[in-house]
């Protein structure tokens, strides 16, 4: 059996100064270029300038896919790879249940689901679900109807590739201790690689005093019934600040990264 190593990271581009972003991208690219990683899922790569910075520095990842829009990758989603991958589809999330204002933002960002695959039919699904801005994850919460709709849409996409190995990863914006985590995993053969982890994937330093950090990033694996592989390794990335310049040490992102190695 062979090992396949994938990682996911929200690059946190929205509020960063361009100079800071350059050094953060440089640091994360150096880390991944010198790692055993093979496939990298990135979120919040919203502009072609962001994409160019990453392409120019992720020199070991010559293959990539995204859905183009006027200003950059749709939904800010990009998948980089050391081996050839091919874009299969991109689905924009339905905004029917999004509150006013939130719906407009979702339409501008065109958040959705990006699917890529290899010639051997291993599927990579990158996604970034809507944030629960007020922290209310209850069934009657203001923002949870749109979250539920996006989970259902994601399930439909996964079902299209259920006969093959499908690795779903990204920023899901749903807390592991919420009811929506159980809704997310309510599919046969779908497993959360970090299911027993009880820490967080957001650095609390980036949150207000009224906000609480949660585990909101995931790597899920959907496997065919006859799959004999398994999880070989898993780890959290970028837990600590790194040296960006001689005078600056900071976090790579407001999110931690997740890396998983699978036996396939």
Query: Which CATH topology does 3-263 take?
Result: Deoxyribonuclease I; Chain A (3.60.10)
pLDDT of residue 100: 64
Report the distance separating Cα 74 and Cα 55, nearest Å.
Answer: 16
> Residue 74 in contact with residue 67, Cβ under 8 Å?
yes
User: Phi-psi bin for 35: left (phi > 0), alpha (psi -120 to 50), beta?
Assistant: beta
**87 CB-side CA count, 13 A:** 15
> Residue 201 in contact with residue 255, Cβ under 8 Å?
yes
pLDDT of residue 253: 93
Q: At what angle do helices 18-33 and 48-57 cross, to 10 degrees?
A: 40
- In this prediction the pTM is 0.94
Coil, helix or strand for 148?
A: helix
End-to-end Cα separation, the chain, in angstroms: 6
Q: In this structure, what are the phi and psi dihedrals at residue 36, rounded to the nearest 5 degrees?
A: -95, 10
| Distances, alpha carbon 27 to alpha carbons 11, 23, 31, 49, 153, in Å | 12, 6, 6, 17, 34
> Residue 52 in contact with residue 20, Cβ under 8 Å?
no
pLDDT in tens, 217-256: 999 999 888 777 889 999 999 999 999 888 888 899 999 9
Q: For residue 50, what are its two tokens?
A: 């962001």
Domain boundaries, the chain: 3-263
pLDDT in tens, 198-221: 899 999 888 877 778 899 999 999
């Amino acid at each position: 059996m062979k090992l396949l190593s994938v990682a996911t990271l929200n690059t946190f581009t929205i509020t960063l100064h361009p100079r800071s972003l350059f050094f953060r991208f440089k640091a994360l690219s150096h880390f991944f270029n010198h790692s055993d990683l093979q496939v990298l899922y990135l979120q919040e790569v919203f502009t072609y300038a962001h994409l160019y910075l990453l392409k120019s520095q992720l020199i070991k990842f010559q293959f990539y896919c995204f859905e183009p829009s006027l200003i950059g990758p749709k939904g800010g989603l990009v998948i980089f790879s050391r081996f050839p991958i091919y874009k299969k589809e991109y689905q924009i999330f339905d905004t029917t249940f999004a509150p006013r204002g939130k719906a407009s933002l979702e339409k501008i960002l065109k958040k959705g689901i990006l699917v890529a695959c290899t010639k051997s039919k291993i599927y990579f699904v990158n996604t970034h679900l809507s944030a629960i801005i007020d922290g209310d994850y209850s069934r009657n919460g203001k923002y949870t109807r749109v979250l539920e709709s996006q989970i259902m849409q994601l399930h439909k996409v996964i079902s299209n590739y259920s006969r093959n190995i499908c690795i779903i990863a990204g920023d899901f914006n749903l807390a592991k201790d919420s009811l929506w985590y159980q809704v997310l995993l309510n599919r046969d053969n779908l497993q959360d690689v970090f299911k027993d982890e009880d820490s967080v994937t957001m650095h609390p330093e980036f949150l207000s005093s009224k906000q609480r950090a949660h585990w909101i990033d995931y790597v899920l694996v959907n496997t065919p019934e006859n799959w004999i592989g398994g999880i070989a390794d898993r780890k959290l990335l970028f837990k600590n600040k790194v040296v960006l310049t001689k005078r600056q040490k900071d976090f790579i992102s407001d999110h931690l990264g997740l890396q998983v190695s699978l036996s396939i």
